[in-house]
Structure 1
Amino acid sequence: HDVLHGAAAYSAPPGGPVQNIVLVHGAFVDGSSWNGVIERLQKKGYRVASVQIPLTSLADDVAATRRVLARLSGPTVLVGHSWGGVVITEAGSGPDASKVVGLVYVAAIAPDVGESTGDVLKRGPQMPIGSAMTKDATGFLWLDPAKYHSDFAADVPENLTRVLVAAQQPIAGKAFEERVTQAAWRYKPSWYIVTTRDRAVSPEIQRWMAHRIGATIVETPSSHLVSVAHAGATADAIARAAKEFGKE
């Protein structure tokens, strides 16, 4: 990774084992989508924070993430699911993110500087979730409750899917066109969890992003909402990444 990129602007990251793991959710869910992962990481001894991002703009979501980061001390791993990948790409950069020692992308978007989510997804095939989203009068995108299970969370039990639908958080449509100004993966190590049964972000485009950012890749036979469907496998991969980052 290009460690010299903007090196003067960054203080050296703290050394030693990772202490904190910060989880950033994506669209159509909230911070509770990490509940099963949180519990398992806490049992492994990590201090875990799940950011409640407002999904109102990239800047707002990055600000919410930085508020949580500011409260932590010691080596920290930033984890993003789906849209949360865009957020950690931006929030993991800059002088206030020197404690971030690594990034984990979970079926997540990993843009480069000047790219938007839309730019990245255009490189892959059209996915079923595209026709399951509708925009309301205020410009927010919602996932059709009838398609939430099939296109987003196919391996989540249907009774739990109904709870997720009831609590779904819409995302500002404009967010998908907002471009990142910094890319933390350019100078921090990354892991990427590819969800091979994904109907929202194609496994092909996930692998392409993972290779582009030089990530260590873990593949899981899962729908897009892997943090709920396979909380154990997700937590284990994050913990393995944290151990690795702690040695660097």
Structure 2
Amino acid sequence: MRITTVFKLTAVALGLTVAGAGCAAAEPAPVKPTVVLVHGAFAESSSWNGVIDTLDQQGLTSIAAGNPLRSVSGDADTVRSVVASIDGPVVLVGHSYGGQVISQVHDPKIKSLVYVAAFAPEEGETIAELSGRFPGSTLGETLNKVALPDGSTDLYIQPGKFHHQFAADVPAAQAARDAATQRPLNDRALNGKSGSPSWKSVPSWFVFPDADYNIPVAAHRFMAERANARAVVEIQGASHALAVSQPAAVAKVIVEAATAGN
């Protein structure tokens, strides 16, 4: 599988040596950020396992936050609470619908955003609108609907269609297990409008597949350009389940976002 970097800026670390009469004051080591990982629809926190393993090898602490997938504002409140509980800088990472969620979290300790096959909506946009703006998504025809007592509807990908639709480059046995453990997206989240997005003021990195059947690649490119992303990495032949099938490539982008400016 070939990884194509469309646009990439990597910060260069600068060191300062302080000379004194008899001794030099040592510069304190920069505080490493905590990486908060936010899963999207039809997935759950363990979808980040391979990414977490790689980040751990790089000395970065990760938290895979539970995303309720109930509403944009409520889900953002959940992630906002996780960020607020952390001491020091944070790199906020979102997959799929999780990208909309992280875009709603505003906190000065967030140093960078990473969008992994993710939505980055503008104020007033919904993910349903964004995914339909460009041709290529086949998600709608794969969904099962479950009516809930509160009048809303939960959406699941049909198990027999999950492998091809969501995780085509993941081994069949693993895709079957992921289909069985998928978390549903509520239609209120699907149609929830975004508020003012954090990507307008926080540096962003984008990594996405060019064989995404959930979010058209044209939509990924459009959102990355609109956000004036620091780096845009396209992975050829990869599926929407990018963190599962390409954890090393995803972790590499996160590490760049975590170390930029250090």
| Distance (Å, rounded) in 2 between the aligned partners of 1:24 and 1:172 | 16
User: Which residue of 2 is the match for residue 60 of structure 1?
Assistant: 74
User: Which residue of 1 is the match for residue 188 of structure 2?
Assistant: 174
Residue in structure 1 matching 2:232, options 208, 212, 217: 217
User: Which residue of 2 is the match for residue 110 of structure 1?
Assistant: 120
- CA RMSD in angstroms comes to 1.4
Report the TM-score, using the length of structure 1 for normalisation. Answer: 0.88
Q: Does 1:228 align with 2:238?
A: no
Q: Is the Cα contact below 8 Å between 1:31 and 1:51 reproduced in 2? A: yes
Matches within 5 A, 1:1-248: 16=30, 18-91=32-105, 93=106, 97-138=107-148, 139-215=153-229, 216-221=231-236, 222-244=238-260, 246-247=261-262
- Name the SS of the counterpart of 1:179 in structure 2: coil
Deviation at 1:122, TM superposition (A): 2.6
Q: Is the Cα contact below 8 Å between 1:17 and 1:243 reproduced in 2? A: no
Letter in 1 for 2:177: V
Deviation at 1:126, TM superposition (A): 4.5
Q: Is the Cα contact below 8 Å between 2:131 and 2:137 reproduced in 1? A: no
Number of residues of Structure 1 aligned to a counterpart in Structure 2: 228
Letter in 1 for 2:242: V
Q: Deviations over 1:26-79 (max 9, x none)?
A: 001111000000111011111110001111111221122112112211111100
Letter in 2 for 1:120: L
- Name the SS of the counterpart of 1:21 in structure 2: strand
Deviation at 1:121, TM superposition (A): 1.8
Structure 1: unaligned runs, 5 residues or longer: 1-14
- Structure having the higher Rg: 2
Q: Is the Cα contact below 8 Å between 1:107 and 1:194 reproduced in 2? A: yes
Q: Is the Cα contact below 8 Å between 1:101 and 1:188 reproduced in 2? A: yes
Deviation at 1:182, TM superposition (A): 2.0
| Distance (Å, rounded) in 2 between the aligned partners of 1:137 and 1:155 | 31
Deviation at 1:18, TM superposition (A): 4.0
Letter in 2 for 1:170: P
- Name the SS of the counterpart of 1:122 in structure 2: helix
Deviation at 1:119, TM superposition (A): 2.4
Q: Which has the higher helix share?
A: 1
Identity score, percent? 38
Deviation at 1:17, TM superposition (A): 5.1
Q: Deviations over 1:172-224 (max 9, x none)?
A: 01211111112000001000002111111111110011001011201112100
Report the TM-score, using the length of structure 2 for normalisation. Answer: 0.84
Letter in 2 for 1:224: H
Q: Would the alpha carbon gap of residues 27 and 180 (structure 1) be closer, same or farther in structure 2, given more than 3 Å must change?
A: same
Letter in 2 for 1:167: T
Letter in 2 for 1:142: Y
- Name the SS of the counterpart of 1:214 in structure 2: coil
Q: Is the Cα contact below 8 Å between 1:197 and 1:223 reproduced in 2? A: yes
